[in-house]
């Protein structure tokens, strides 16, 4: 299944936030939207979810135009994972996840045994089945994020749109959530996430769109599009993309005083030559 | 839920025997049997039970159940456990309507009608104002509009009190604003019951979705609930329910605010269970308080006074227990 936007303008009323956006996202991959705060990511997401109508252009789910689908039909195909938050009432984890079944219920019905099974298996899939009876509002930020992801899974949507899933999480929880996101894509879900941390995109993304000031600067596979030049342009600063000895990449602000003209490749090569050890890195002068 | 229903039944049986004229449970059951077997009972016991106590108990159960159910709904859609059914001005509007009715020396039915219309119209105005704002019907604009219009209705009520006849009308106004079931008869209950049920039925049928609405707007919408439409429907139904009961009972505070809390402590926050539990508990609570109101002293104590005297300390106790108790 494909979720695509063609020549989309998004915004509220007369205020246009982003324009000229064409994207295509497929199930089974992690599509990342990377950009600084205020670049229009959230508005674009809300448009992709059908929460705000597009100002121009259209969003399609395969061949169906999103604005022709009912709220319920959209909810069955696209799930939304907001940033973790505290609801006003002390729901248990299972109750929160069960709400993910709403789009599969009749207007007047309540979740039954089958829905409860879906909820529990979604929790199991994220290895948090033991939390089912716990008070959701007492969980840590990382656990809450996982519960919200489980809620999306319980709804059996083809796409899961996540608004900065790692925002506000501590280091350990960030990587835990990123791991689970990778596993979701492997299980065939299309994950669309926004982030303002290039390292997270490098860690989990298959494809990426780099956004700045309401436009997409570049999009493509994470390997190609995430080079130092593009990232530098997005953030308006020099950055280095460094390849680690095991092939992973990280992004860092360029070292002060000595901006690397080749985007850090030489640094990375040198580091690899030295076996990637800290000592080796220190011992060389570039 | 079953223990709650059982408690309500026991309470009702007890309430039947309490009052100025002593009736034992056996006498009450005997009178009931007589009625059921067709022989129209005569005698004082029959009059006391079927003419006075039963209608009043029915009123207490209806009013308490409706106020608590409406309170639970408002708390869910406004995502705030501190919200009461008055938040959008329904009581202020109904109060203004009733006071106007008393001021114009209308008969009881006219006063009830004006109270009902006043409550509905006030909330209608609040929703209309919120809808015309830029942030269409967001929770915040609704509540702010409710506070403003409620204050305005309160001012009109005060004005009417100032110019009302201080010997004849003012005591009636004060008594109405404090709430009481002493003047309610079977006909009053039957006249508002259809409206109350008309409002309650959609709330009960939609209770799962109302629970989902207690999440953030975007979330609820993304989960497949048409937020705007559902919220307006809930506000409309809860207002219909509240206006109906306020019309016959006057302004009775605290029930809609406190009872959902107690229900939440008993059955948890899941709205599908919370709504029926709140309704039953509210019915039992008001039955208890009204029984006290008519039997503690020789003269009638206004219900609104008693619910406040019981509700306020309880709320403080909740406050002292900390945030967990709220939710």
CATH of the domain at A121: 3.40.50.300
Count of structural domains within chain A: 2
Q: Tell me which residue in B80, B208, B215 faces A110 most closely, judged by beta carbons.
A: B208
Q: Tell me which residue in B221, B272, B327 faces A110 most closely, judged by beta carbons.
A: B272
DSSP assignment string, B141-160? HHHHHHHHHHHHHHHHHHHH
Question: What are B249-294's pLDDT values in tens digits?
Answer: 988 888 999 999 889 989 999 999 999 999 999 999 999 999 999 8
| Distance in Å from the first CA to the final CA of chain A | 48
pLDDT of residue A45: 93
Give ipTM to 2 decimals: 0.86
Q: Tell me which residue in A78, A102, A137 faces B209 most closely, judged by beta carbons.
A: A102
d(CA B273, CA A98) in angstroms, rounded, equals: 14
Torsion of CA B183, B188, B190, B195, to 10 degrees: -120
Residues of A with a Cβ under 8 Å from any B Cβ are 46, 49, 51, 71-72, 74-76, 78-80, 82, 85, 87-92, 95, 99-100, 102-103, 105, 107-111, 137, 155
Residues A175, A276, single domain; the answer is no
pLDDT of residue A237: 82
Does the beta-carbon distance from A111 to B208 stay under 8 Å?
yes
For residue B142, the distance in angstroms to the closest alpha carbon of chain A comes to: 18
Stretch among A44-53, A191-200, A250-259 having the lowest mean pLDDT: A250-259
Residues A156, A272, single domain; the answer is no
Which residues of B are less than 8 Å from A92 in CB distance? 268, 270
Residues A79, A180, single domain; the answer is yes
Helices within chain B (DSSP H only): 2-17, 25-36, 44-46, 54-77, 90-103, 108-132, 139-163, 169-178, 186-205, 207-213, 217-222, 227-249, 255-267, 271-295, 303-321, 323-326
Residues A64, A199, single domain; the answer is yes
Residues A222, A279, single domain; the answer is no
Question: What are A70-109's pLDDT values in tens digits?
Answer: 999 999 999 999 987 788 888 999 999 999 999 999 888 8
Q: Tell me which residue in A87, A88, A102 faces B223 most closely, judged by beta carbons.
A: A102
Residue A62, classed as helix, strand or coil, is coil
Decide if B230 touches A, using CB distance below 8 A. Answer: no
Which residues of B are less than 8 Å from A102 in CB distance? 208-209, 212, 223-225
Residues A146, A7, single domain; the answer is yes
A51 against B324, higher pLDDT? A51
Q: Tell me which residue in B219, B224, B324 faces A90 most closely, judged by beta carbons.
A: B324
d(CA B117, CA B91) in angstroms, rounded, equals: 11
- Window B:238-267, CB contacts with A under 8 Å: 264
- Last residue of one domain, picked from the residues A197, A212, A236: A236
Residues A133, A154, single domain; the answer is yes
Residues A284, A208, single domain; the answer is no
Residues A118, A81, single domain; the answer is yes
Question: What are A116-168's pLDDT values in tens digits?
Answer: 999 999 999 999 999 999 999 899 888 999 999 999 999 999 999 999 999 88
Mean pLDDT split into 10-residue runs, chain B, 327 residues:
90 88 84 78 79 91 96 92 86 92 91 93 92 77 90 94 90 88 89 95 96 92 93 94 92 90 90 96 95 86 87 82 56
d(CA A84, CA B274) in angstroms, rounded, equals: 25
Question: What are A226-237's pLDDT values in tens digits?
Answer: 988 888 888 888
Q: Tell me which residue in B222, B226, B327 faces A89 most closely, judged by beta carbons.
A: B327
The tally of CA atoms less than 13 A away on the side-chain side of residue A133 is 1
Residues A161, A264, single domain; the answer is no
Decide if B53 touches A, using CB distance below 8 A. Answer: no
Does the beta-carbon distance from A74 to B224 stay under 8 Å?
yes
Query: For residue B234, what are the contacts with CB-CB under 8 A and spacing of at least 6?
Result: B73, B77, B203, B206, B210, B213
Decide if B43 touches A, using CB distance below 8 A. Answer: no
Do B280 and B5 meet the contact criterion of CB atoms below 8 Å apart?
A: yes
pLDDT of residue A258: 43
Domain span at residue A99 reads 2-236
pLDDT of residue B136: 66
pLDDT of residue B135: 66
For residue A217, the distance in angstroms to the closest alpha carbon of chain B comes to: 28
Which residues of B are less than 8 Å from A110 in CB distance? 207-208, 272
Tell which of B201, B222, B237 to mutate to test the A interface (max A CBs under 10 Å).
Answer: B222
pLDDT (average), residues A243-254: 88
Residues A158, A173, single domain; the answer is yes
For residue B233, the distance in angstroms to the closest alpha carbon of chain A comes to: 13
Q: Per-residue confidence at A238, pLDDT binned at 50, 70, 90?
A: confident
Residues A26, A150, single domain; the answer is yes
């Amino acid at each position: 299944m494909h979720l695509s936007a063609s020549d989309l303008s998004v915004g509220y009323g007369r205020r246009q936030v982003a324009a000229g956006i064409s994207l295509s996202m497929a199930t089974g991959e992690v599509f990342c939207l990377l950009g600084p705060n205020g670049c229009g990511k959230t508005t674009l997401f809300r448009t992709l979810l059908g929460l705000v109508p597009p100002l121009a252009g259209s969003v399609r789910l395969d061949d169906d135009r999103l604005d022709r689908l009912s709220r319920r039909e959209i909810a069955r195909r696209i799930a939304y994972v907001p940033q973790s938050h505290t609801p006003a009432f002390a729901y248990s984890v299972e109750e929160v996840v069960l709400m993910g079944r709403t789009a599969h219920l009749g207007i007047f019905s309540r979740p039954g045994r089958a829905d409860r099974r879906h909820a529990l298996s979604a929790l199991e899939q994220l290895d948090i089945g033991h939390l089912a009876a716990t008070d959701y509002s007492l969980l840590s930020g990382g656990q809450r994020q996982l519960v919200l992801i489980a809620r999306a899974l319980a709804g059996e949507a083809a796409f899961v749109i996540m608004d900065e899933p790692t925002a506000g999480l501590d280091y350990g929880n960030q990587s835990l959530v990123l791991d689970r996101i990778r596993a979701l894509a492997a299980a065939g879900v299309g994950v669309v996430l926004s982030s303002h941390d290039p390292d997270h995109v490098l860690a989990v993304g298959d494809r990426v769109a780099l956004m700045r000031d309401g436009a997409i600067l570049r999009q493509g596979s994470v390997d190609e599009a995430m080079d130092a030049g593009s990232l530098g342009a997005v953030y308006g600063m020099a950055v280095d993309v460094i390849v680690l000895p095991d092939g992973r990449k990280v992004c860092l602000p360029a070292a002060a005083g000595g901006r690397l003209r080749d985007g850090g490749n030489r640094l990375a090569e040198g580091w690899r030559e030295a076996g990637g050890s800290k000592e080796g890195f220190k011992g060389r002068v570039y | 839920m079953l223990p709650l229903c059982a408690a309500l039944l026991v309470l009702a049986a007890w309430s039947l025997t309490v009052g100025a004229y002593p009736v034992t449970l056996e006498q009450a059951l005997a009178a009931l049997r007589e009625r059921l077997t067709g022989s129209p009972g005569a005698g004082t016991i029959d009059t006391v039970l079927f003419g006075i106590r039963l209608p009043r108990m029915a009123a207490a159960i209806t009013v308490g159940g409706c106020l608590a159910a409406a309170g639970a709904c408002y708390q869910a859609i406004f995502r705030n456990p501190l919200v009461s059914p008055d938040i959008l001005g329904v009581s202020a509007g109904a109060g203004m309507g009733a006071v106007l009715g008393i001021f114009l020396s209308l008969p009881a039915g006219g006063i009830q009608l004006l109270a009902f219309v006043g409550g509905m119209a006030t909330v209608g105005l609040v929703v209309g104002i919120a809808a015309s704002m830029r942030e269409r019907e967001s929770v915040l604009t609704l509540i702010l509009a409710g506070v403003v219009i409620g204050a305005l209705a309160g001012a009109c009520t005060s004005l009417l009190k100032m110019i009302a006849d201080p010997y004849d009308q003012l005591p009636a106004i004060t008594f109405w604003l404090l709430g009481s079931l002493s003047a309610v008869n079977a006909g009053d209950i039957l006249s508002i019951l259809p409206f109350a049920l008309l409002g309650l039925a959609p709330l009960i049928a939609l209770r799962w979705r109302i629970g989902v609405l207690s999440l953030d707007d975007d979330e609820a919408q993304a989960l497949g609930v048409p937020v705007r439409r559902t919220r307006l429907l809930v506000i409309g139904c809860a207002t219909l329910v509240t206006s109906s009961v306020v019309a016959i009972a006057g302004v009775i505070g605290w029930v809609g605010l406190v009872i959902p809390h107690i229900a939440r402590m008993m059955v948890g926050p899941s709205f599908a269970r919370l709504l029926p539990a709140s309704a039953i508990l509210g019915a039992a609570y008001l039955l208890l308080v009204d029984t006290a109101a008519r039997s503690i002293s020789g003269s009638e104590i206004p219900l609104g006074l008693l619910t406040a005297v019981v509700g306020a300390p309880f709320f403080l106790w909740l406050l002292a227990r900390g945030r967990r108790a709220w939710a």
